[in-house]
Amino acid sequence: GWARAVRGLLLDVSGVLYDSGADGGVPIAGSVEAVRRIKASGLKLRFCTNETQATRENFVKKLRGMGFDICVSEVTAPAPAACHILKERGLRPHLLVHDDLVPEFAEVDKTNPNCVVLGDAAENFTYANLNEAFRVLIGMEKPVLISLGRGRYYKETDGLKLDVGAYMKALEYACDVQAEVVGKPSERFFESALAEMGVPAEQAIMIGDDIVNDVGGAQRCGMRALQVRTGKYRPSDENHPDVKPDAYVNNLAEAVDIILQQL
């Protein structure tokens, strides 16, 4: 029943379409063809990613190089949403993000920071850089910490890697502040993707590898959500105490087979 009355699909990217890595990453078997079939079917499609190690333009260029039919206008990502919030609220960020993401903030005033924006900074997550972000926050009367996601870990070709959520929690604890999460699993993120597709939540399905951020976040917005057994998936996810996907599928290709049979 979960596959019926679907008008739109939201796809996580890392762990669903491909596994990232130092060499750029590799597509997951069947995922390139699955995206092609979704587009040929006429279903609405958004790529919903917490990717914060590259601009959307460079991220899409990498995926196109792997054979995926994808363009920048189809991607919902945290950095552009964060820039909108910063401008809307007159916030000037101290950035602790990956070097390759910095161009996304080119039009944002960064002088005399009055908040911290945290992304998956990877090798930039040094003690010195974390301590600098800590000092900016602790020096504020009302500290503002904006995190581009809260994932615990993700999968690359050489294994699991710590994600931004671990560092977010460290700054929250040290500064007695609660971060504002811009990416998944925030409701605002999913609602933005649905609005961009023009599809109501009850007619959309989210497909992801993260039991909490992809599946749980989407379900809280009224969507159905599937967990793939690729990417960061672990068998223990199937016993999660709080989040129960509408279904488990071995990979994106299997999910697409089932959904298209119902059209």
Q: Residues 127, 217: one domain?
A: no
| pLDDT number for residue 21 | 84
How does pLDDT run along the chain (263 residues), one tens digit per residue? 899 999 999 999 999 999 988 788 999 999 999 999 999 999 999 999 999 999 999 999 999 999 999 999 999 999 999 999 999 999 999 999 999 999 999 999 999 999 999 999 999 999 999 999 999 999 999 999 999 999 999 988 899 999 999 999 999 999 999 999 999 999 999 999 999 999 999 999 999 999 999 999 999 999 999 999 999 999 999 999 999 999 999 999 999 999 999 98
Among 172, 151, 170, residue whose Cα is nearest residue 162? 151
The answer to whether residue 195 sits within a structural domain is no
The answer to whether residue 189 sits within a structural domain is no
Beta strands in 97-216 (DSSP E): 115-118, 145-147, 153-156, 159-162, 180-181, 204-208
The answer to whether residue 89 sits within a structural domain is yes
Q: Residues 209, 233: one domain?
A: yes
The answer to whether residue 1 sits within a structural domain is no
| pLDDT number for residue 24 | 84
Q: Residues 222, 248: one domain?
A: yes
Q: Residues 136, 50: one domain?
A: no
Q: Residues 242, 174: one domain?
A: no
| Number of compact structural domains in the chain | 2
Full-model pTM: 0.90
| pLDDT number for residue 200 | 98
> What domain range includes position 90?
78-181
Q: Residues 92, 174: one domain?
A: yes
| pLDDT number for residue 126 | 98
Q: Residues 174, 133: one domain?
A: yes
Among 49, 35, 47, 43, residue whose Cα is nearest residue 10? 47
Distances (CA, A) of 152 to 40, 162, 174, 234: 35, 6, 18, 13
Q: Residues 44, 64: one domain?
A: yes
Q: Residues 242, 257: one domain?
A: yes
- Asked if 112 contacts 92 with a C-beta cutoff of 8 angstroms, the reply is yes
Q: Residues 50, 105: one domain?
A: no
Q: Residues 160, 204: one domain?
A: no
Sign of CA dihedral 37, 42, 48, 54: positive
* Residue 64 neighbours by CB distance under 10 Å: 12
| pLDDT number for residue 23 | 82
| pLDDT number for residue 174 | 97
The answer to whether residue 211 sits within a structural domain is yes
Instruction: Tell the residue number behind the tokens 């016993």, with chain if given.
Output: 239
The answer to whether residue 22 sits within a structural domain is yes
Q: Residues 105, 170: one domain?
A: yes
Question: Where residue 29 sits, what CATH number does that domain have?
Answer: 3.40.50.1000
In sequence order, the β-bridge partners of residue 154 are 161
CA distance 248 to 211: 10
- pLDDT, tens digit, 9 for 90 and up, residues 179-236: 999 999 999 999 999 999 999 999 999 999 999 999 999 999 999 999 999 999 999 9
